Amino acid sequence: MKNVFKILILLFSISIFGQENEISFLKYEDLEKKIENQEAKLTVVNFWSTTCAPCVKELPEFMEVNEKYKSNPDFKMLLVSLDRPKDIERVKKFIKEKNLTAEVVILDDIKRMNTWIPRFEENWSGEIPVTIFYQNHQKIVFHNGEMSLNQLEEHVTKYLQ
Amino acid sequence: MSQNTYNNLIHFNMKNIKTMLLVLISFCISGIVSAQNTVRKGYEIGDVATDFKLKNVDGKMVSLSDFKKAKGFIVVFTCNSCPYAIKYQDRIIELDKRYKNLGYPVIAIQPNDPAAQPKDSFEMMQKRAEEKDFTFPYLIDEGQKIHPQYGATKTPHIFILKKENGKNIVKYIGAIDNNYENPNDVSEYYAQDALNSLLKDEDIKTSRTAAIGCTIKYKK
């Protein structure tokens, strides 16, 4: 009986802990499926890394927009981290410190960059940050480089209509 | 219909037309912006690469035309500050050691504006070149005029050129290999394969590759 309790407590704590800190590691195909399966009308996918200064700089503004629209079922923001899986603790710490409220996944597919980069966008050489907008699962904007708060909001309001 | 109402109607229509025009114009502009972001600028395979005269860490100016005996070049846009570029430093030295004697020396160019990234100042470049004992020129793209012509958008970004009839022809653009993180777990040696093909006068199987890197930094 004691053991059962212990297990229950353990399971309970894992589920709470897990919810707060859960970050999925995805291969390209899983990420593609995840984007395709979004129910939102507009999905904003941002590629970033904790080691990328311009990415880190623009994320607070992305959060401003996410906070504004996240309750809207038509809107979804997905932050695709290109950090190495072994840097998971750093990513978690970063999420907490910067209060990232959008979903974060780690694209764990280093050796196949030359496969998945062109599949996201033919003319993308691999520089980050990059932001891609999908409207009803169709890629509508590929934005290479930093995005200002104004640009981001303009795109979101335009494509949410 | 009174004249007044009629005027109002015209006025209203004019307003509508103005609004429509504005919407149309902004739509066009936004279209151009998205297009600008997706259209690739710079060289395609087969283009003639420009020569340059850029300052090396030893203070001397370096041009491709200085290398009379070279069969071609491995032009690497790299820097001190980018984690991806740092991961490739040793592999760039290896490339130079292996291919310089075969006619393809490495020419490294630092494209970032030091005003935007102080770690990439000329002095810091000198320091890095000394620490790592670079066997190749490490040039600064002062004024940032050269890398946009090549179409370099990130570090590291490599361009392999071959001399043909006195011109430097672009033969390969992209990554060095397919694992920035671990040189012992590479399964695709893009740059070496391209160089080996050039040396054997064979077609390059993969002449363009993509890999994650750091955007080139500009002062705003």
Residue B211: what pLDDT?
97
B184 in reach of chain A (CB within 8 A): no
Tell me which DSSP letter residue B184 carries. G
What would the two tokens of residue B140 be? 């600064």
For residue B45, which residues of chain A lie inside 8 Å, CB to CB?
none
Strand partners, A127: B213
Residue B212: what pLDDT?
97
Q: Do A110 and B179 touch (CB under 8 A)?
A: yes
Q: What would the DSSP string read from start to end of B17-42? A: HHHHHHHHHHHHHHHHHHHHHHSPPS
B153 in reach of chain A (CB within 8 A): yes
Find the CB nearest B178 among A84, A113, A154: A113
Q: Which of A20, A43, A24 is nearest to A101 (CA)?
A: A20
Tell me the C-alpha distance between B65 and B67, whole Å.
5
Q: Where are the domains of chain B?
A: 1-39, 54-215
ipTM field: 0.84
pLDDT at B23 > cutoff 60: no
CB count in 10 Å sphere of residue A4: 8
Report pLDDT digits (tens) over B89-115. 999 999 999 999 999 999 999 999 999
Q: Which residue's entry shows tokens 């932050």?
A: A79
Residue B11: what pLDDT?
54
A85-116: string of b/e by CB count within 10 Å (b at 16+)?
eebbeebeebbeeeebebbbbbbbbbbbbbeb
Q: Do B214 and A52 touch (CB under 8 A)?
A: yes
What would the two tokens of residue A143 be? 């934005």
B194 vs A89, B49, B147, B171, CA distance in Å? 38, 17, 21, 8
What domains can be seen in chain A, in order of their start residue? 23-160 (3.40.30.10)
Tell me which DSSP letter residue B101 carries. T
Find the CB nearest A126 among B30, B188, B213: B213
List the CATH code of the domain at B54-215.
3.40.30.10
Report pLDDT digits (tens) over A48-73. 999 999 999 999 999 999 999 999 99
Please state, rounded to an integer, the average pLDDT across all residues of chain B. 89
**By the 8 A CB rule, do B178 and B108 touch?**
no
Residue A56: what pLDDT?
97
**By the 8 A CB rule, do B114 and B120 touch?**
yes
